[in-house]
Amino acid sequence: MNESVDAAAVLNALRAVQDPDLHRDIVSLGFVKDVKSCGGTVSFTIELTTPACPVRDIMKEQARRAVMALPGIEKVEINMTSQVRTSLPKQPLLETVRNVVPIASGKGGVGKSTVSANLALALSKMGARVGVMDADVYGPTIPTVLGVKDQPRMLPTQRILPPRAFDIPILSMGFFASAGQAVVVRGPILHKTIEQFLGGVEWGELDYLLVDLPPGTGDVQLSLCQIIPLTGAAVVSTPQDVALNVASKAIDMFRKLRTPVLGVIENMSGYACPKCGHHDDIFGVGGAKASAEQMNIPFLGAIPLDTRIRTSSDGGRPIVVSDPDSPAAKAFMGIAEKLAAQVSIRGFKSDEGILQPVVWGKP
């Protein structure tokens, strides 16, 4: 280091930079790495907990300014990287997957599959390694929504290699049933299927595995919570569900299964007419936020009712990729950032102990 500036002084200056989600400075969080100096130039790396960090550039600028304020510094080089954390123990079934996040709802048709697909694309766009498991054995729609063209392959190791769409590995019960054919699976087989979908698949290194659940509080949800520890669920709700307390049933189920709920998403929240721009709160708006606050659960954001969300999903190119500048795509990007932040927060709450799956009846 330069005679007047040593690593300790640089680290001390960087204590002024706070992580807004973890409410601690980046030095005590261990984010600052590889502090080096050569003449008047100081370089270091800031390793965030997710590539989906909305204040990444602001933090970089704060860090640059903090170090530039030290005497003798002429230039500051900052390398911004990320390493997604997990609150889960390494598990033999899913060794290469850091976080498993189910997308749930109290009832059908509220937009779980739409949200799963768009959030996966949003996180992937931000640089995260994402996979999608379509656990809706009764109505698998993910292959259509994400326009998956290929089929899974059985490897010589007897493990399944999932097909990819938008470079995201995807596995769905839909691959194992012909079009139009009903998938009939009973409890014990269902349990085995979910087990195989998790443990028998070459997911590769993933930061987030999103699991699109069937509606309600049935066998799939139970099996999933029994088989592996989950980082936490995101619950999708429409404004009407809030009035009918449907979402709170799903939240209550996860609480009973000791799976954290990372947040609530309000879908079909108000309608913006694509022709005249007129906004109408057909089913009401903001109810999910209020009830999330009441239940002390983070509110992750709202997605408007927008015909283009449906048409883009029907065409296999969800709105986050087909119309990234639309308000709906921006809403999904914002929700992805908030979800990633909640995962990071859980990754740091190690003092709460490791979350264990709860066996609730025999499969």
What would the two tokens of residue 112 be? 């779980």
Q: Which of 109, 188, 204, 274 binds ligand ATP (CB under 6 A)?
A: 109
Looking at the Cβ atoms of 19 and 306, the one nearer to ligand ATP is 306
CA 164 distance to own-chain centroid: 18
- String of DSSP letters for 100-136: EEEEE-SSTTSSHHHHHHHHHHHHHHTT--EEEEE--
CA geometry: angle 69, 72, 75, nearest 5 deg: 70
b/e map of 114-136 (b: 16 or more CB within 10 Å)?
Answer: bbbbbbbbbbbbbebbbbbbbbb
Looking at the Cβ atoms of 127 and 316, the one nearer to Mg ion is 316
Looking at the Cβ atoms of 42 and 119, the one nearer to ligand ATP is 119
What single DSSP character describes residue 49? S
What would the two tokens of residue 37 be? 């100096």
CA 183 distance to own-chain centroid: 28
What would the two tokens of residue 344 be? 């990071």
Query: By CB under 6 A, what part of segment 86-105 binds ligand ATP?
Result: 105
Using CB under 6 A as the criterion, what x/- string covers residues 186-215 for binding ligand ATP? -----------------------------x
Using CB under 6 A as the criterion, what x/- string covers residues 294-333 for binding ligand ATP? ---------x-xx--xx--x--------------------
Using CB under 6 A as the criterion, what x/- string covers residues 125-164 for binding ligand ATP? -----------x--x-x-----------------------
Using CB under 6 A as the criterion, what x/- string covers residues 266-285 for binding ligand ATP? -xx-----------------
Rounded least distance, CB 174 to ligand ATP, Å = 12
Using CB under 6 A as the criterion, what x/- string covers residues 227-266 for binding ligand ATP? ----------------------------------------
Selection from Mg ion, ligand ATP, none that 90 binds (CB < 5 to 8 A by kind) is none
Distance CA 242, CA 290 (A): 9
Query: Is 340:50 a contact under the CB 8 Å cutoff?
Result: yes
Give every CB contact of residue 105 below 8 A, 6+ residues apart in sequence. 111, 112, 213, 215, 216, 235, 236, 237, 241, 246, 247, 250
Rounded least distance, CB 342 to Mg ion, Å = 22
Query: Is 26:63 a contact under the CB 8 Å cutoff?
Result: yes
Q: Which of 82, 113, 259, 326 binds Mg ion (CB under 5 A)?
A: 113
Q: How many CB atoms lie within 10 A of CB 56?
A: 17
Rounded least distance, CB 215 to ligand ATP, Å = 4
* Residue 172 found at the interface with Mg ion (CB under 5 A): no
Site residues for ligand ATP per CB under 6 A: 105, 108-114, 136, 139, 141, 215, 267-268, 303, 305-306, 309-310, 313
Site residues for Mg ion per CB under 5 A: 112-113, 136
